[in-house]
Structure 1
Amino acid sequence: MTTSSLDLASLLCSRLCHDLLSPVGALTNGLELLAEEKDPVMRQKCFELLEQSATASANKLRFFRLAFGAAGGFGEMVPVAEARALIDALVAANPRITVQWSMADETLPKSAIKTLLNLSMIGIEALVRGGVLDIAGEVRAHGASGAGLASELVIRASGPRIAFDPLVAQALAGTLPLADLSSRTAPAAMLFQLAQGLGGSFQTHVTADALVLGAVLPVR
């Protein structure tokens, strides 16, 4: 699978707009209700709706800014705490999902952070009935001689029902036909291109109640 940077960027923008449509639409609805509502109790509920929608919109924008974009410039290392805050905020609106962290390092290369965010997003989407999202990662010796380093990441989504599009797995593996590339599979396609440039790889395993996503990204 090969696709131009322009096509991929367009699909990632479409994905961002799709995910923001709901909270932004709720903001619009809340403002319309507020303009017409006179009852103090109902007006308070409108304000609560506006606050929730504004928070959700801001959280998603911050998440996508780093997951898809160049937030923080092009520095080599990014604090893991920054990625954790973004993922925890994204999950906060869904009480059915619990996130458990096991990270060995305080900072990771930016490529690893972007991969961590996008794989976590895939895991969150797989938990349609809630469950547990386990996120683990560390930088380890890599290569035949052990002289190199690689970021190793594992995301495990476990719950009563896992919804995972096999086209996403194909996009991660670089085998997705161009005709099937969409805003849904674009983040995985972006990760494949990122890993390919580093000489890295992904592993995917899915069952009825668990999805495991692994990544090995050499540090350069």
Structure 2
Amino acid sequence: MNAIDLASLLCSRLCHDLLSPVGALNNGIELLADEQDPEMRERCLELLAESAKASANKLKFFRLAFGAAGGFGEEVDSREAQLALEGLFGAERRIELGWMVADGRLPKDATKLLLNLALIAGDALVRGGRLDVGGERSERGLELVIRAEGPRILLDPGLRETLQRGSSGGKVEPRAAGAWLAHSLAQGAGGSIKLSDPGSEVLLIGADLPRQG
């Protein structure tokens, strides 16, 4: 897997996630153009506003998790990462988010790693639940922990494999782009990613980054 392959995978993931809200925007505009009833037009405008907000929230999150957001410095305001997660998961109100990152600023790569792990854990909460995101510095460096709990947790075995071992045979599917990026970021920092057992009632994902401290 090279940088071009990774960029293609991330673009595919971004397009996939934006297809639904952007498609809703297009449908809403078409309905609005033909609708004459005032109440229905108001409802169309509400749906357009919701879809526009969802699109903006996804773009803000992916810009920080996948792109070069946060400026050209080495660190990112952790509040920016918190807001990105709240925008991504908070709108649907399916997932209750707990933010437990003590530091006001985090290394840029650590921020990307944290957001990608949180995205993977949040997606695993197929029926909603609670997602706790934590991070703190210790003598060993920077420790990140994601905890997901809900009525049903489903983490694809392929994502689990990619998080812990990277690509298998050099091939990664678009849905695993974030997992491959997370693995690469942890490995590049001299760290690793650990997960709770597949049969656990709670999903735990931890990352130790000794070079980030």
What is the TM-score normalised by the length of structure 1? Answer: 0.92
Equivalent of residue 171 in structure 1, options 150, 162, 179 = 162
Q: Helix, strand or coil: the match of 2:92?
A: coil
Q: Distance in 2 between matches of 1:133 and 1:191?
A: 18
Aligned length: 211
Q: Helix, strand or coil: the match of 2:116?
A: helix
- Stretches of structure 2 lacking an aligned partner (at least 5 in a row): none
What per-residue deviation string (whole Å, max 9, x for no partner) do you get for residues 79-131 of structure 1? Answer: 11100000011112222210112122111111111111111101110111111
CA distance 1:175–1:57, change in 2 (3 Å): closer
Q: Structure 1 residue 21 and structure 2 residue 14: aligned?
A: no
Q: Helix, strand or coil: the match of 1:69?
A: coil
Aligned residues of 2:65 and 2:112 also touching (Cα < 8 A): yes
Q: Which residue of 2 is the match for residue 188 of structure 1?
A: 179
Q: Which residue of 1 is the match for residue 30 of structure 2?
A: 32
- Percent of residue pairs bearing the same amino acid type: 55
Runs of 4+ in 1 over 4 A off after TM superposition: none
- Stretches of structure 1 lacking an aligned partner (at least 5 in a row): 143-149
Q: Helix, strand or coil: the match of 2:205?
A: strand
Q: Helix, strand or coil: the match of 1:154?
A: strand
1:3-82 map, 5 Å: 3-82=1-80
Q: Helix, strand or coil: the match of 1:156?
A: strand
Aligned residues of 2:145 and 2:206 also touching (Cα < 8 A): yes
What is the TM-score normalised by the length of structure 2? Answer: 0.95
Q: Structure 1 residue 212 and structure 2 residue 212: aligned?
A: no
Q: Structure 1 residue 159 and structure 2 residue 150: aligned?
A: yes
Q: Which residue of 2 is the match for residue 145 of structure 1?
A: none
| Aligned alpha-carbon RMSD (Å) | 1.4
Q: Helix, strand or coil: the match of 1:185?
A: helix
